[in-house]
Amino acid sequence: MRSASLSIHLAFKLATAFLAVAGSVLLLLALTRLIPGDPATVILGSRATPEAIAALNARIGLDKSLTEQFVGFFGRLLSGDLGEDVFNGRPVLGLVAAALPNTAALAISAMLFAIVLGVPLALLSARWAGRRLDRLIAFLSVGFISTPSFVVSVFLLMVFSVTLRWFPVLGAGESGHLGDQLWHLVLPTAALAAGWVGYIARLLRSSLLEVLSESHIRTLRAYGVSEAKILMKYALKPAVLPTVAVLGMGFGELLGGAVFAEVIFNRPGLGSLIYDAIRTRNYPVVQGGVFIIVLLYVLTNLIADLSQSLIDPRERARLSTGRGGVT
């Protein structure tokens, strides 16, 4: 009975995820085709003849109806084929596979960076709530949240690349050279994570204060348990639940938000791949790239959702019994 309930929950989540992927990709494909401009004009230059444009469209399959193109895309998808770059015939799967690790590395490192800085800031803020340190952290957090990442990027580049020359401006580092790749990751990570540091600090602080105001915490204090122990051992775990849910969605957003960082830092990632493909109306690359992004977004949300279910004892109990949880 317990496993059946969990299986139904899982199946429901997977079905929703599948529909979300299919729906989003279909919508995005339709939107891409609605904007004027086509790859033939980009390939042939701004002054190509109509005959040349028509011939090229036929060669790359754009003379077919939209329905045929969509059916073709989803049909090929079943065999793991994302199509070919219209400009040079390179397989889109290869382009996406080459770009994805760079984006994933950036998103993961940004998330870790945000957690490593954000959680201690939240703890300090909650510990000294209403005091000067709390106000300073609040000021910094709101500053981080409200400064656009491209502004942070340019600032970091001017200071750490142009003036100090500590970190490089361009690319993702030499292939196979982990140290160089990490070095190239530092500035884009900081630029992308800055807003999230502030966000985690604020969000977790609120949750911590909520937990700290509960009666069992007062009991612990009455027993003389130290504030540090209360914070770390008794308040952090329940307080972190809402943050985990937000981080799940946040990871998906970081994948999307990496576009700015990738363009500014010239990283050959998935975001910049899609950005360039949209500008040149390279439809197969847009389709393939968006499909992977949506897939990852939905997957990370699914994982966060399931993780939360497993961490939260009330939710765990509800799924195990198949009935409403303890309230």
Partner 1 sequence: MTFITTRRQLLVGGASIATVVALGGVHPAFASADRSKIVVRVEKDPVNLDPANRSGPVDLNVLWSVQQGLISFKPGSTEWELDAAEELEQVNATEIRFKLRSGLVFTSGYGELTAEDVKFSFERFIKPNAEGKPVTYAKDWSALDRVEVTGLLEGRIILKKPAPALYTIALADGSGRIISKKAFEALGEKEIATKLIGSGPYVLKQWTPRDQFVLEINPDYKGPIKPHFQQIVGKPISEQKTAEIAFQSNEIDFTAIDPENGKTLSALPDASVTQIPAIDYVWFGPNIEKAPFNDIRVRQALRYAVDIDAILQGAYSGLYPRANSLLAPSLLGHWKDAPVYARDLEKAKALLTEAGHADGFKTKLTIEANARYEAIAQIIQANLAEVGIDVEIEALESAAYWALGNNDASKDLELSLIKYNGKFDPGFQTQWFTSAQVGQWNWQRWKNADFDALHEKGGVTVDPAERAKIYIEAQKLLDESAAFIWITHNLNAFASRNWLKPGVLPNGNNWLYTAFSETTA
Residues that bind partner 1 (CB under 8 A): 35-38, 41-53, 55-56, 58-59, 87-90, 95, 98-99, 127, 154, 157-158, 161-162, 165-172, 175, 180, 183, 226-228, 263-266, 268, 272-273, 276, 279-281
- Are residues 167 and 278 in contact, defined by beta-carbon separation less than 8 angstroms? no
Alpha-carbon torsion, ordered 20, 188, 101, 168, to 10 deg: 160
Helix, strand counts (H, E) of the chain: 14, 0
- Are residues 253 and 261 in contact, defined by beta-carbon separation less than 8 angstroms? no
Q: For 84, phi and psi rounded to 5 degrees? A: -130, 145
Q: Select 41 or 243, whichever has its Cβ closest to partner 1.
A: 41
Q: How many residues does the chain have?
A: 327
Q: Select 80 or 89, whichever has its Cβ closest to partner 1.
A: 89
Q: Select 38 or 305, whichever has its Cβ closest to partner 1.
A: 38
Q: Select 17 or 62, whichever has its Cβ closest to partner 1.
A: 62
Q: What's the token pair of residue 220? A: 């612990």
Minimum CB–partner distance for residue 235 and partner 1 (Å): 13
**Whole-angstrom distance, CA of residue 292 vs CA of residue 269:** 12
Q: Select 44 or 140, whichever has its Cβ closest to partner 1.
A: 44
Minimum CB–partner distance for residue 164 and partner 1 (Å): 8
CB count in 10 Å sphere of residue 216: 10
Minimum CB–partner distance for residue 255 and partner 1 (Å): 18
- Which positions ≥6 away from 72 have C-beta within 8 Å? 61, 64
Roughly what angle, to the nearest 10 degrees, separates helices 283-311 and 270-279? 140
Minimum CB–partner distance for residue 122 and partner 1 (Å): 15
- What residue type is assigned to position 130 of the chain? G
Minimum CB–partner distance for residue 111 and partner 1 (Å): 20
Q: Select 53 or 209, whichever has its Cβ closest to partner 1.
A: 53
Q: Select 178 or 326, whichever has its Cβ closest to partner 1.
A: 178
Minimum CB–partner distance for residue 140 and partner 1 (Å): 20
Minimum CB–partner distance for residue 157 and partner 1 (Å): 5
Q: Select 80 or 176, whichever has its Cβ closest to partner 1.
A: 176
- Are residues 287 and 25 in contact, defined by beta-carbon separation less than 8 angstroms? yes
Long-range contacts of 303-308 (CB under 8 A, 24+ apart): 303/248, 304/244, 304/245, 304/247, 304/248, 304/249, 304/251, 305/13, 305/245, 305/248, 306/10, 306/13, 307/244, 307/248, 308/241, 308/244, 308/245, 308/248
Minimum CB–partner distance for residue 136 and partner 1 (Å): 17
